[in-house]
Amino acid sequence: MSNRITGSEFSLADIFSKKFEYFIPSYQRPYAWTTDQTSELFDDLYDFFKTESDEGYFLGSIVLIKKDGDPKSEVIDGQQRLTTITILLSAIASRIEGDDRKELLAYIVEPGKKYEGIEAKPRLTLRDRDRVFFEKYVQGLQFDLLMALGQQSLANESQRNIQLNSECLLKRMEAKFSNDPVELDKFVQFVLGRCFIIAVSTPSQQSAFRVFSVMNSRGLDLQPTDIIKADLIGQIADSEQPEYNERWEDLEVELGRSGFNDLFAYVRMIYAKDKAKKALLEEFRTHVLPRMHTPESLISETLEPFGEALHILKEGNYRAETDAQQANNYLRWLNRIDNSDWIPPAMLFLAQKKDDPEYVLWFFERMERLAAFMHICAYNVNWRIDRYAEVIEGLESDHNLNNPVHAVELTEAEMKLMRERLDSEIYTLTARRRNYLILRLDSFVSDGGATYDASILTIEHVLPQTVDSASEWAQTWPEQERRNYWIHRLGNLVPLNMRRNPSASNYDFKKKKEKYFKGSSNVTSYALTSQVTTQESWTEEDVKKRQSDLLEVLFEKWRLTANN
């Protein structure tokens, strides 16, 4: 019976009493509630207080590792609520004086009883990184000092949330109870006496983590990484937990919470080599964890090197004595692709070969070509996953610049398909696909020297889509069939920085290139458009030649012929 899970309902007066001594273990995520969750909690409490005179208010459940008869409680789930409620009680205590403050403070800090052997200490102890900060400013009721701290002086996001949520609750208290101390007393009685939490306790870490994975009723939605962290850090020897917890959190801070979760999805792809069919947590446990010798090895041999690689990929900041600038240029183009399916094989390669800059450049030139091929040729996610899985499989064999991974190269069939697509009606592609192609082509023509803001890009036709029978265009292009053939092809398209007046798109060629393509500043940002403004005419022969020239550039730069 000593390992049984127990659950009981407690009022907040009991939750914050000598029955419990809460501490947040170092492997827990930081305090993450924002003012959205905090204001919602307060408003819910206040509205219930005003409308329900007798009913109790349920605040959800917390999960603790706790032995019977021992108040020491390791919080596995519930720190967000316990921390925020502590801030609320402290905010109220800061507004009252004398014996009332002393009585309320006892729910925040155990005052200690010498003859009962009870030590004076906070009811709730945060993680080491935030413990002193929380004790001083919140549990010490030093809110004036807390509000005076600049955001830059706060050590981490957790402390910023503590400051902002304290400010939020102080303002709420001022708005609701500034002129009515009697009403405030009633509210405190309601919070302590009619608000309840179910505390689920077990002395077994394993069973606590099992409960933790399914219970999180009012906190932020648990991320799979939170549960994996709890599982793994809990398996590491106590003496080494702080080190590995610190390394885990450093990686999470570097990548950001969203990027950190992406890392786990990408690692799953590397090991599974197929599209995820179940939730990330289950997939990670199925495909990744069984391959790890120890929790320590997952962190040091997998998450850290892959996390470093992911950061380089997303930021485009590969560093080496040679070839780094060119490699980062390819990364910038890869990050313009409208999916991230290329990242797992790129991440695996970079973790393996980042110290070989010449090979890195070779690989990313081909990875950008492969990603662009699938993007422009409208490969769906299943086709992309299968194709990138081939690259991952290739990376699992011995490879180097003298014996490179060939799976990242385009096949003859893929090059043929790409050539056909490039010589088709490009304008009919989705906006993201045609924009990528046009900007990439412009970068080739400008020899990579231009920079682009896709948010203000529009692709325009030189020969307009609608030709007035009385216009010069109708004389130059008398056959509708020929106009239809060329209208949407590369040779007739130019990039512009903003959508112009639609009526201006029908200007005759001379006026169009001077007034429409150049604009009021008489310059254009794009090499492709500059080429057109130097043309004296825009006949079918002109477009045909331009089409041929541009395709030649693409075929050469992307190496789309067998002899390339």
Question: Which tens digits make up the pLDDT trace of 27-66?
Answer: 777 888 988 889 889 988 998 898 887 888 989 888 888 8
Q: Choose between 42 and 26: higher pLDDT.
A: 42
Q: How would you write 313-375 as a 3-class SS string? A: HHHCCCCCCCCHHHHHHHHHHHCCCCCCCCHHHHHHHHHHHCCCHHHHHHHHHHHHHHHHHHH
* pLDDT band of 1, cuts 50, 70, 90: very low
Question: Which amino acid is residue 329, in one-letter code?
Answer: N
Confidence of residue 356 (pLDDT cuts 50, 70, 90): very high
Question: How does residue 253 score in pLDDT terms, banded at 50, 70 and 90?
Answer: confident
Q: What percent of the chain is predicted at pLDDT more than 70?
A: 91
Give the tens place of pLDDT for each residue, 433-479. Answer: 999 999 999 999 987 656 666 667 889 899 998 888 888 999 999 99
pLDDT in tens, 544-556: 999 999 999 999 9
pLDDT of residue 220: 46
Q: Distance (Å, rounded) from C-alpha 493 to C-alpha 445?
A: 14
- Find how far residue 84's CA is from the centre of its chain: 25
pTM score above 0.75: no
Cross-strand partners of 500: none
pLDDT tens-place string over residues 375-425: 999 898 889 999 999 999 999 999 999 999 999 999 999 999 999 999 999
Question: Residue 76: enclosing H or E segment and its boundaries?
Answer: strand 72-77
pLDDT 10s digits, 511-548: 887 776 665 555 567 889 888 888 999 999 999 999 99
What is the β-pairing status of strands 121-122 and 493-496?
A: unpaired
Query: Residue 222 carries which side chain, given as an amino acid letter?
Result: L
Q: In this predicted structure, what is the pLDDT of residue 129?
A: 86
- pLDDT of 179-191, one tens digit each? 888 999 999 999 9
More confident residue, 105 or 253: 105
Query: What is the 3-class SS of 162-208, one letter each residue?
Result: HHHHHHHHHHHHHHHHCCCHHHHHHHHHHHHHHEEEEEEEECCHHHH
Backbone angles phi, psi at 534, to 5 degrees: -90, -5
Tens-place pLDDT, residues 197-245:
988 888 776 666 656 555 443 444 557 788 788 788 878 888 888 899 8
Question: Over 60: is that where the pLDDT of 502 sits?
Answer: no
pLDDT at 206: 62
Q: What is the pLDDT of residue 179?
A: 80
pLDDT at residue 260 in the model:
92
Give the span between the Cα atoms of 216 and 339, in whole angstroms: 31
Q: Once rounded to an integer, what is the mean pLDDT over residues 310-319?
A: 96
CA–CA gap between residue 222 and residue 215 (Å, rounded): 9
Q: For the purposes of burial, counting CB atoms within 10 Å of the CB of 522, is it exposed (0-12), middle (13-18) or buried (19 or more)?
A: exposed
Taking only the tens place, the pLDDT of each residue in 97-138 is: 899 999 999 999 988 777 777 778 899 999 888 999 999 999
Instruction: Say if residues 3 and 203 touch (Cβ distance below 8 Å).
Output: yes
From the list 516, 550, 364, 522, the residue with the least C-alpha distance to 446 is 550
Question: Which pLDDT belongs to residue 507?
Answer: 80
pLDDT of residue 216: 44
Mean pLDDT of the residues in the chain: 88
